[in-house]
Amino acid sequence: MAKILKIIASLVMALSVLVIGAAWWGHGQFKNPGPSETEISVIIERGMGVDAIARELHRSGVLAGPLVFRIAARVLSAKQPLRAGEYVFAPGISPEGALALLQSGKTAVRRVTLAEGLSTTEILALLERTEGLQGKVWPVPDEGTLLPETYHFSYGDQRLNIVRRMASAMRDLLTDLWRNRAPGLPFASPQEAVVLASIVEKETALAIERPRVAAVFINRLRQGMRLQSDPTVVYGLTHGAQPLGRGLTRADLKTASPYNTYLVGGLPPGPIANPGSASLEAVLRPAITKDLYFVADGNGGHLFSKTLKQHNRNVAKWRKLNKASKTTR
């Protein structure tokens, strides 16, 4: 009997040594740096269990093996579960660090930049092509109701949420700018200001010019002159679905459309794009000038004038530059 007890005691001791050794080894492996030498991005889909997550981290090169992570996660995830999403794992991150990151829910931040002057159709098409977003946008927002900016999101976010953020940002900005607008502007509502801002956005890409371009159109509205803006004619032809892809023709300028500001007085019935904050501010706090005309200067900007006579001279200069540019190509 004593011999049997001695054997059992030896076995228990040996097993204890093995267990302690395994635990010591596992503890070291849990804290030791992993094999990755660069940042690694991994997407943890909703519904993935611990085993699947461990295999994915091993397959992606974050972990040297799945076993230690799997055991630790089963022990520790009861208190703080692992969260789905896209994660960026630092070079050499340990299984302990990887587990803590997945428990924290600190997912990778993506971003999408939506340029000023895009139509709503173009914005929705860009969001449709943006990797990491999901879902459809319905109903389609009205033209001019979305504020173009850079928006941050996480993998799996809804496109509709981005659009809602854009609409909210536009409402907030417009409310603030309208409250602090210059006196005597020819707008009956903030929405009319958005219409003109969308035209200014399409007329010039130079921020420094926008208040002066806005002033030209405002002066024209005050005097009952037609705006005669080419971008409005383009919108009447395409409705923002795609670029025209060619220059305007004389026939285009004579095509009947509520957006053809060569034929129709006042503002068009709605925005022709989604203007940015600079164009909105330019329209609501325009430059103080008597300019009524502007034409391209051949260098990406415009020449402004107060009289038709000055304007015709500037047009002649532009045509000469344009002709010279074509002959040197």
Same domain for 194 and 91: no
Interval 5-48: pLDDT, tens: 556 655 555 455 444 544 444 455 678 898 999 999 999 999 99
Task: Quote the domain boundaries for residue 121.
Answer: 110-168
Same domain for 215 and 247: yes
Interval 283-324: pLDDT, tens: 999 999 999 999 988 888 999 999 999 999 989 888 887 776
Same domain for 202 and 283: yes
In a domain, residue 22? The reply is no
Q: Helix 210-223 to helix 277-284 angle, to the nearest 10 degrees?
A: 40
State the pLDDT confidence band at 119, using cuts at 50, 70 and 90: very high
- The pLDDT assigned to 23 comes to 47
In a domain, residue 19? The reply is no
Same domain for 116 and 102: no
> How many CB atoms sit inside 10 A of residue 5's CB?
9
- The pLDDT assigned to 104 comes to 92
Same domain for 74 and 55: yes
For residue 324 the two structure tokens come to 């010279």
Domain's final residue, options 119, 137, 168? 168
Same domain for 68 and 194: no
Query: Hey, CA dihedral for 129, 130, 135, 141, is it positive or negative?
Result: negative
Same domain for 148 and 74: no
- The pLDDT assigned to 17 comes to 45
CA nearest neighbour of 157 among 118, 127, 122: 127
In a domain, residue 221? The reply is yes
**pTM confidence score:** 0.84
> How many CB atoms sit inside 10 A of residue 74's CB?
13
Amino acid at 81: P
- The pLDDT assigned to 77 comes to 67
pLDDT at 261 over 90: yes
In a domain, residue 192? The reply is yes
Same domain for 211 and 147: no
Could you tell me which residues come within 8 angstroms of residue 68 by beta carbon, excluding any fewer than 6 positions away? 26, 29, 30, 95
What are the DSSP calls for 46-91, one per residue? TT--HHHHHHHHHHHTS-S-SHHHHHHHHHHTTTS----EEEEEPT
State the pLDDT confidence band at 197, using cuts at 50, 70 and 90: very high
- The pLDDT assigned to 118 comes to 97
Q: How many domains does the chain have?
A: 3
Secondary structure element (H or E) that encloses residue 202, with its range: helix 190-203
Same domain for 193 and 115: no
Alpha-carbon distance 238 to 227, whole Å? 19
Q: What angle do CA 138, 144, 149 make, to 5 degrees?
A: 90
Alpha-carbon distance 88 to 224, whole Å? 59
